[in-house]
Chain A
């Protein structure tokens, strides 16, 4: 039998967490550090420089890829949140309807389905449709379609979790007071799930901004997204321009996520205070 003292357990636990976080953050640290590396060998430190950043500013391929990715990510996030909210609503509010099992299966499957399969099958369908109707041409819109499929699944999970913990009596009260279903949704439900919608939007935005496989299958000539540019360079070997892009992305995303979670936490606190105040009255 194994006997361990509480102090040992605490120390072991702390060490495990520290090592785990080190494992998670080591590559990010290395990416950022080596973007400032003035050396012909990309992973040996020689000295500080900003030359990769000035090279990046002149890198037309990367910049146009970034712009295209940002546009696709924006529309993916908006579409995913709308479709995901609908799907989450259908699953939470309606416990019985025709083909519900198939529906919930289809909602969850893209979360784990290998992306090569999703990308290939979507492409084959688009090609078949294109053969018959001459539409759609492969490009930004077809990439958007693929990302939307993936993003919707993630958005559904996030919104569904929030909807489930909502107190149904609030909606019922609004209904008792004469609000119509649409009014209940826009005036009661939507404000209460707005934080979940915001995190779903951010999550699907970053998913889309990062995707290689679906984009590769669904892109056409002239629609090279940033991850495709990065991927094709990374395949050939180490490339400091990739480190420079990475550093900028890490910076923007960290600021965005920290700001968003601060706003979400603040909104949550305020909402709870209001609810506590309402309960006291």
Chain B
């Protein structure tokens, strides 16, 4: 063991920079992400401006006659903008993701609120009960809805028995009363079901930290519970609302498994288009272009989420 005197004189900072612990701790995950997250992304962009057949990673920049030329082939993008089907699919994806996010908020906010107001001894159990389905396979839970919504399924029988399918048909969520599977209704139901815990958890962690004395103060000053809720609780939980909404909205735009298992022919979503271009048509550049446009559509919420997430983590 070193004596204090030795420690004071030891030239601890003389080691080369790349050998210090600090450098290694940062460089390892950083390098990993650069190679396996950012680089693949650039390659995706490169593929998206190349043509079918010429799938080599070289055609973006070429060296010819002493000149470095940048060749971009925007054929895929032109095709996407001209073909109405792609546009409709993008719009539909954004629409279903937005509907899902709003419904998750409407269901999840009161849920998280009442969880946070429950007896404190009960709260860990309530929290675990929200997380537990999240731990069991997402794929299997989506598959389960297939059984519940198919003919003679529990939920299907319930909705038809109560006449609610008439309401859904009237709202054009299902094409005809009695047909629930492979409709916009089954798609949105599956997405809300899957993503509602992602809304509840950030809201709960936000609401459970709220200072209840603020509500007491508001009550003392004559505010009704309802006014206090809108003027104090909701504004204070803004961070949780944003986090939850982004956590639901962004992945929903590109969702593949739920539209594939629960959606129908009229609920084409963009994740399925990428998948089909890749696996069925084997058109890798086209799949890349569709994916790049998808990123462009969600880049604003994505940047928003990243910034918010970083800030929330710093602020703790």
Q: Secondary structure at chain B's binding surface: helix, strand, loop or mixed? A: helix
With A120-B274, A145-B36, A254-B136 known as contacts, the answer to whether A17 contacts B126 (CB < 8 A) is yes
Mask for B28-58, Cβ within 8 A of A = 1, else 0?
Answer: 1110111011111101100100000001110
Interface size on A, residues (CB 8 A): 97
Most interface-central of A128, A149, A202 (chain B CB within 10 A) = A128
Q: Verify A114–B271 contact, CB threshold 8 A.
A: yes
Interface residues of A in 21-62 (CB under 8 A from B): 21, 23-28, 30-31, 34, 41-44
A173 within 8 A of B: no
List the interface of chain B (C-beta within 8 A of A): 1-2, 4, 7, 21-22, 25-26, 28-30, 32-34, 36-41, 43-44, 47, 55-57, 107, 110-111, 113-115, 117-118, 124, 126, 128-133, 135-141, 143-148, 150, 152-155, 193, 196-197, 224-227, 246-247, 250-251, 253-257, 260-261, 271, 274-275, 278-279, 284, 287-288, 291, 294-295, 298, 302, 305-306, 309-310, 313, 316
Measured CB to CB, the nearest residue on chain A to B110 is A16
With A20-B111, A116-B254, A121-B43 known as contacts, the answer to whether A28 contacts B133 (CB < 8 A) is yes
Measured CB to CB, the nearest residue on chain A to B111 is A20
How far does the alpha carbon of A28 sit from the alpha carbon of B154 in the complex, in Å? Answer: 13
Q: Which residues of chain A come closer than 8 Å to B36, judged between CB atoms?
A: 122, 125, 145, 148-149
Q: Which residues of chain A come closer than 8 Å to B278, judged between CB atoms?
A: 120, 217
Q: Which residues of chain B come closer than 8 Å to A118, judged between CB atoms?
A: 40
Q: Which residues of chain B come closer than 8 Å to A124, judged between CB atoms?
A: 40, 43-44, 47, 284, 288
Can you spell out 20 A-B residue pairs with CB atoms less than 8 angstroms apart? A3-B226, A14-B114, A26-B148, A27-B144, A31-B143, A43-B153, A87-B29, A99-B30, A103-B26, A108-B310, A112-B247, A114-B294, A125-B40, A127-B55, A152-B33, A178-B4, A181-B21, A227-B137, A235-B261, A246-B143
Q: Verify A112–B302 contact, CB threshold 8 A.
A: yes
Q: Verify B141–A28 contact, CB threshold 8 A.
A: yes
- A-B contact number at CB 8 A: 258
Q: Which residues of chain B come closer than 8 Å to A116, judged between CB atoms?
A: 254, 256, 271, 274-275, 291
How far does the alpha carbon of A182 sit from the alpha carbon of B114 in the complex, in Å? Answer: 45
How far does the alpha carbon of A27 sit from the alpha carbon of B192 in the complex, in Å? Answer: 13
How far does the alpha carbon of A227 sit from the alpha carbon of B26 in the complex, in Å? Answer: 34
Q: Which residues of chain A come closer than 8 Å to B118, judged between CB atoms?
A: 13, 17
List the interface of chain A (C-beta within 8 A of B): 1-4, 9, 13-14, 16-17, 20-21, 23-28, 30-31, 34, 41-44, 83-84, 86-87, 89-91, 93-94, 97, 99, 101, 103-118, 120-122, 124-125, 127-128, 131, 145, 148-149, 152, 156, 160-161, 164-165, 178, 181-182, 202-203, 206, 209-210, 212-213, 216-217, 227, 230-231, 234-235, 238, 242, 245-246, 249-250, 253-254, 257, 261, 265
